[in-house]
Structure 1
Amino acid sequence: MGRKFFGTDGIRGRTNEGVMTAATAMRVGQAAGAYFLRGDHRHRVVIGKDTRLSGYMMESALVAGFTSVGMDVIMTGPLPTPAIALLTREMRADLGVMISASHNPYEDNGIKLFGPDGFKLSDEDELAIEAALEDQPAVASAPDIGRARRIEDARGRYIHAVKKSLPEDIRFDDLKVVVDCAHGAAYEVAPAAIWELGARLVSLGVDPNGRNINDGVGSTSLDALRARVVQEQADIGLALDGDADRLIVIDEKGQTVDGDQLMALIAKRMAASGELRGGGIVATVMSNLGLERFLKNEGLTLHRAKVGDRYVLEMMKQKGLNVGGEQSGHMILLDHATTGDGTVAALQVLAALVQSGKKASEMLHLFDPVPQLLRNVRYSQGQPLENVTVKDVIAKAESELAGKGRLVIRPSGTEPVIRVMAEGDDREQVEQVVDRICRAVEQVSS
């Protein structure tokens, strides 16, 4: 069955267009609620959101949907995605919902669903809910309609949980930290957690107005944080995205440290302390070859999953590993969270900085990335990757890079675009390979 609503990370789109309407949100509440009405206990769902203006509308529609099928609703207000996963499990809820479009602009929104174990739903669960969206919902009788309430202590619960991810003797007293919360879901909790552990704190992106989430701030817009770290002569800068499941770091010199470098740091430290399970980590096909080579030199294995933190998590569970992530900054530390958690990852980086006694620029750049180039090619018709000419160009490129680099080609799941990525030790060769493949795709699809 094809997917009409769910993508690689829940349902996402421009608000009041396509799938991202109040009517759809109510249907999702009804379909997901009915799907998780299992057993004879009183059923409940935890709903959180980021700071987008449309979050109010989507929250109200979801509440209407869930209560109409007999599920009680607990609303937390703005909280990071990993906080909703945590509270779903802690509050013995049957389902968790995060209303967020992550790093997208405020005009977009999304719906992410978590099962009672705090993990994102499987493909099978999503397909079952998607099928139910096309059916007339079986609503509850009047006496069985659900209730809704808002809880006030959710932020404190999450702050306590993320601080518990560190040993009790760790303090950040000597660190000056700039944290950028993207005017998003972590605008209160991330600065509070870092400040409570003793850091001298400078905050950016902590004044949400409904329309400024990810606007010139956060993990996808680093210039403001970079300038502030240098201006303040801070030890480190931390950038979260709109729903705070990603982390990108800026060192004291203003240099960017992406998810690959962070995974290298965490994997090396956890292996040395005996905490790393399975002798390796999971990243995606987009992670740099330099990370793979670094881990190999450390006696560790890099397993590659499809793009998307849910696929990283699936492979982690399959292989019994407790560390995984993406170059974009998703960091999944299964000992502390069931999904990517930018604040937990940030505390691990700060703890490493304190314990090492080194500057961030010395500690966080563990390998030199090999030249990598990603280009998107839009096509107008057909399936370019099935064309014989394109296949031949790709095969020759793979042969050319063999032993010296990698080639990753994948169609977008949401638009008519082919993503072409190549990396290797020779930058000129990488550029030529990507250029040839892109030209081939353009020629057969024009």
Structure 2
Amino acid sequence: MARLFGTDGVRGLANKFPLDGNTVFRIAQLATRQLMLNHKKQGRPVFIAKDTRRSGDMLEHAVAAGVASMGAEARMLGVLPTPAVAFITRELQGMGGVMLSASHNPFFDNGIKIFGADGYKISDAVEEAIEKDLIAGGKIELPTGAEVGFVSHDDSSASFWLSNLARVAGENVGSRRLKIALDCANGALARWAPKFFADLGYSVDAIGVNPDGININDSCGSTCIAAILNVMKKEHFDVGFSFDGDADRVIAISSEGDIIDGDFILAITAKYLKDREKLPGNALVTTVMANLGLDLAMRNNDIKVFKTRVGDRYVLEEMQKNQAVVGGEQSGHIILADHATTGDGLLTACNLLRIMRETGATIKELSGVMSKLPQVLVNIRVKTKDFDSIPEIVEAIRDTEKRLSGRGRVLVRPSGTENLVRVMAEGPDESEIKGLVESIARTISNYLC
């Protein structure tokens, strides 16, 4: 059986293994048992939240039943972003946290993300222990009587999370209110973000705020920038923010329509902090997918760039290793370690607004810190992701590497959350790299589709 836990928890088609109710109930039991091994945290609740997928209600109750059956309190938060669960778990002294979301995936998928009492995603070792016990299928000793756990509902902790973010953003004071556009992806932020920014004094126009269970990430959100671009073309906005379904990532848009992705956000944030002597080690962390323009820009600003494999857990590990406070991915998943334990799209947007306010610069002016090299990325949906076992595919990749040697690069990798193989290339000539990527993609399609 393939490993259940990927780069961001368990993810798959809802109501099919391992995202069926019975298996999720079992995972919740086993995860609670692991969390309870830290005896000092016993008696504390396990916080549970979900995004807006139709399957969220079903799986939420399966998780709550699993937690309570182990003798713990299952405290249900309702619809909240992933980073809110991490923050609430840590700051309100939970035993752990569970988020039900498949992030940017379509509505028919769902997933399980598990946080420890410290607000960080559980380690590989804990995931492996849960998976091992699940496969073994052994009997679990369950409490009875007064030792059985219970389910409670929490409608107040979300405001605690938002108040912390408000301190980062600050109020929009001055002679002119900044006007911002939001795309909440019909996801976990739909209920929260428009009012949050309006209460801070910003003029807000929002789309993707009418979730119906099946429209999350559907032609909207951070993986469909066209939606917010269409809004911003109609009238003037100072900046736009497009989130994904569980709001752990964000892409910014300038008033001119420039896409400010995670690479730009990392560069803007790192330079801002370095200029104020608040960037420990003068370093940031990103992944191998980052544009080479980020490396060049940071080199020009005497900022070191540490690279990891794709996945926020690997970014976080490298950040902790190097005591970095800024890290993230091109996708807009940004970790600001001074404020959070995981990527937080709303926190990132707040941080950018603060930088704009304090510097007096527009987001476009701030993004001038770096220039991107042309980059082409193609995703190929495949039956199996073992591309490196096919000699013809390996040879096509090697040929491209030789052609770009000294001028650019090519990177082929499997997705950690979907049945996709991603082909990315960078170089000085966009038409050339587009042709090279398409050639590799055709070869992959011929053998794996």
TM-score class, shorter: over 0.9
Aligned residues: 444
2:390 & 2:218 partners in 1: Cα distance? 40
Q: Which amino acid aligns with 1:32?
A: A
Partner of 1:248: 251
The more displaced of 14-23 and 396-405 is: 396-405
2:171–2:201 contact (8 Å) kept in structure 1: no
CA distance 1:421–1:349, shift in 2 (3 Å): same
Residue 264 of structure 1 corresponds to which residue in structure 2? 267
SS of 1:133's partner is helix
Equivalent residues in 2 for 1:21-170 (5 A)?
Answer: 21-38=20-37, 39=39, 41-134=42-135, 135=137, 136-166=139-169
How many angstroms apart in 2 are the aligned matches of 1:48 and 1:440?
A: 42
- Out of 304, 309, 317, the position equivalent to 2:307 is 304
**Counterparts of 2:253 and 2:171 in 1: how far apart (Å)?**
25
Alpha-carbon distance change, 358 to 7 in structure 1, aligned in 2, over 3 angstroms: same
Question: What is the aligned-residue RMSD (CA, Å)?
Answer: 2.3
Q: Identity of counterpart residues, as a percentage? A: 39
| Letter paired with 2:276 | S
Counterparts of residues 302-341 of structure 1 (less than 5 Å): 302-341=305-344
* Aligned residue identity for 2:62: A
Contact 1:372–1:430 at 8 Å: present in 2 too? yes
Structure 1 residues 278 and 217, CA gap change in structure 2 (3 angstroms): same
* Cα 1:16–1:290 shift into 2, 3 Å: same
Partners of 2:190 and 2:385 lie apart in 1 by 45
Structure 2 unaligned regions, length at least 5: none
CA distance in 1 between counterparts of 2:396 and 2:49 reads 47
Contact 2:415 2:421 in 1 (8 A): yes
Q: Which amino acid aligns with 2:343?
A: G
Change (3 A) 1:373 1:119: same
Residues 390, 57 of structure 1: CA spacing in aligned structure 2 closer, same or farther, 3 A cutoff? Answer: closer
Contact residue 184 and residue 190 of structure 2 kept, 8 A: yes
1:291 aligns with 2:290: no
Partner of 1:178: 181
Alignment check: 8 A CA contact 2:7 2:417 kept: no
Contact 2:385 2:419 in 1 (8 A): no
Cα displacement (A) at 1:377:
4.8
Give 1:210 deviation, angstroms.
1.9
Counterpart AA for 2:156:
D
Please list, as runs of the form range in 1=range in 2, the aligned pairs for 1:228-243 lying within 5 A after superposition: 228-243=231-246
Judged with a 3 Å threshold, the aligned counterparts in structure 2 of structure 1 residues 139 and 365 are, in CA distance, closer, same or farther, namely farther
Q: CA deviation at 1:67?
A: 0.6
8 Å CA contact 2:172–2:201 kept in 1: the answer is no
Tell whether the 8 Å contact from 2:8 to 2:417 is kept in structure 1 after alignment.
no
Identify which range, 424-433 or 62-71, moves more after superposition: 424-433
Partners of 2:391 and 2:155 in 1: CA distance: 60
Give the 3 Å change call, closer, same or farther, for CA 203–423 of structure 1 in structure 2: same
1:184-263 matches, cutoff 5 A:
184-263=187-266
1:344 and 2:347 correspond: yes
Looking at structure 1, the residues matched to 251 and 245 of structure 2 have their Cα atoms a distance apart, in angstroms, of: 13
Q: Which amino acid aligns with 2:377?
A: L
Structure 2: how far apart are the matches of 1:74 and 1:164? 26
Asked whether 1:402 is paired with 2:411, we answer no
State how far apart, in whole Å, the 1-side matches of 2:234 and 2:435 are: 40
**AA partner of residue 209 (structure 2):** V
Q: Quick one: distance in 1 between partners of 2:385 and 2:157?
A: 49
Which of 27-36 and 431-440 deviates more? Answer: 431-440
Answer with 400-409 or 51-60: which moved more.
400-409
* TM-superposed deviation, 1:359: 3.2
**Residue 11 of structure 2 contacts residue 417 of structure 2 at CA under 8 Å; is this kept in 1?**
no
Letter in 2 for 1:126: E
Check 1:144–1:332 CA distance in 2 against 1; reply closer, same or farther (3 A cut).
same
Taking the aligned partners of 1:413 and 1:246, their CA distance within structure 2 comes to 17
Match of 2:277 in 1: 274
Gaps of 5+ in 1: none
* CA distance in 2 between partners of 1:258 and 1:336 (Å): 20
